[in-house]
Homo-oligomer: A and B are copies of this chain.
Amino acid sequence: MQKQIILKNRPSGTPTHENFGVVQAPIGKPAKGEVLIRTLYISVDPYLRGRMNDTKSYIPPFKLNEVIKSGVVGQVTESQSDLFQKGDFVLGSLGWQEYSIAGEKSVRKIDPNLAPVSAYLSVLGMTGLTAYFGLLDIGKPKEGETVVVSGAAGAVGSIVGQIAKIKGARVVGIAGSDEKVKFLTDELGFDAAINYNSEDIGSSLQDACPDGIDVYFENVGGVIADSVFPLLNNFARIPVCGAISSYNNAEADIGPRVQTYLIKTSSLMQGFTVGNYTPRFSEGIKALAEWLTTGKLKYEETITEGFDNTIDAFLDLFKGANLGKALVKVAEIE
């Protein structure tokens, strides 16, 4: 038997333990063409909050009483597929459970020699690719331009800022604690960082961006985003990746309308999800891996130990507790 986490009922506002259930289920046996996978790492991500609502989006909502799914790295413990051997490391969209049975086409092998396997859920995974394509394909930062990133110490934001630095931009991060601000400037080489919890975001942003803002990578929304719009330069670009400040709003998310700001500066806002770039993933992984191995790109992971703490790790995302990618370590590599 193994443990699984299901969505018991849909959160209204901020999710709590009450919304989830932990159930026991048989581990099962793989059929022909399937593998049995022992979960090593589970990715907890803000976007999963959206899937807990019963509303139309780019990805269908979770069903009640079904196991929650996200990115998982695991190790094959039994293979009924010619494509995998026992001991192989794999990546897939799998359940929040200790073991998964997966079809051979639904997971892919990852190389533990290129990077620690957890990196395939962070810098070499969806969050790294989200940063890569959102910034470069939509944000298009040019040398000397000013790039502002919100959620800057998070999984996506921390990679965005570093790629923008690689491209020669001046990078300003917005984050929620002095520890994060220090991390951004001292560890990741951001030119400036702002603690929105202790500073007046409007005036700090103006001070940090004396030449205005050319690219704003949006992870947060809300009043932080509101303070960016008046500082946009002509032809500014805003990749809209996330709006974590509003994910738990039970009420409508209200603020200044953006139309006049966009008109006055001929600026662009483009919502996106990393899935739009699936045909180009190998390009992104190649670039990220190269920056990683040449030391141009650092990544941070906040790892919560133990399957039983998975729900807490998810809930912590909305408290801004994580530095870099939030992961749950379920088991040791064998």
Give me the interface of A with B, judged by CB distance under 8 Å. 50, 56-58, 218, 221-222, 225, 234, 240-243, 246-247, 252-273, 276
The answer to whether A267 and B271 touch across the interface, beta carbons within 8 angstroms, is: yes
Residue pairs across A and B with Cβ atoms less than 8 A apart, 8 shown, are: A58-B234, A221-B257, A243-B263, A254-B257, A258-B258, A263-B271, A263-B273, A268-B268
A270 CB contacts on chain B under 8 angstroms: 262, 266-269
The answer to whether B243 and A260 touch across the interface, beta carbons within 8 angstroms, is: yes
Question: How many angstroms from the CA of A58 to the CA of B225 in the assembled complex?
Answer: 21
The answer to whether A262 and B253 touch across the interface, beta carbons within 8 angstroms, is: no
The answer to whether B56 and A260 touch across the interface, beta carbons within 8 angstroms, is: no
**Chain copies in the assembled complex:** 2
A273 CB contacts on chain B under 8 angstroms: 263, 266
Question: How many angstroms from the CA of A276 to the CA of B56 in the assembled complex?
Answer: 36
The answer to whether A221 and B58 touch across the interface, beta carbons within 8 angstroms, is: no
CB distance from A277 to the nearest CB of B (A): 11
The answer to whether B254 and A253 touch across the interface, beta carbons within 8 angstroms, is: no
Question: How many angstroms from the CA of A273 to the CA of B262 in the assembled complex?
Answer: 10
Question: How many angstroms from the CA of A48 to the CA of B260 in the assembled complex?
Answer: 14
A257 CB contacts on chain B under 8 angstroms: 221-222, 225, 243, 246, 253-255, 258
Which listed residue, B57, B247, B254, touches A255 by the CB 8 Å rule? B254
CB distance from A187 to the nearest CB of B (A): 28
Which residue on B lies nearest to A225, using beta carbons? B259
The answer to whether B262 and A269 touch across the interface, beta carbons within 8 angstroms, is: yes
The answer to whether B271 and A268 touch across the interface, beta carbons within 8 angstroms, is: yes
A225 CB contacts on chain B under 8 angstroms: 257, 259
A258 CB contacts on chain B under 8 angstroms: 257-258, 269
The answer to whether B246 and A259 touch across the interface, beta carbons within 8 angstroms, is: yes
Which residue on B lies nearest to A265, using beta carbons? B271
A262 CB contacts on chain B under 8 angstroms: 240, 269-271
The answer to whether A266 and B259 touch across the interface, beta carbons within 8 angstroms, is: no
CB distance from A137 to the nearest CB of B (A): 12
CB distance from A210 to the nearest CB of B (A): 15
The answer to whether B256 and A253 touch across the interface, beta carbons within 8 angstroms, is: yes
Question: How many angstroms from the CA of A291 to the CA of B294 in the assembled complex?
Answer: 57
Which residue on B lies nearest to A59, using beta carbons? B264
Which residue on B lies nearest to A272, using beta carbons? B266
CB distance from A131 to the nearest CB of B (A): 15
A56, A243, A252, A259 pick with most chain B CB within 10 angstroms:
A259
- Can you add 7 more A-B contacts, CB < 8 Å, to A254-B256, A263-B272, A269-B270? A58-B264, A240-B262, A252-B256, A259-B271, A261-B271, A263-B273, A266-B271
Which residue on B lies nearest to A273, using beta carbons? B266
Q: Would you list the 3 A-B pairs with minimal beta carbon distance, nearest first? A: A262-B271, A243-B259, A221-B259
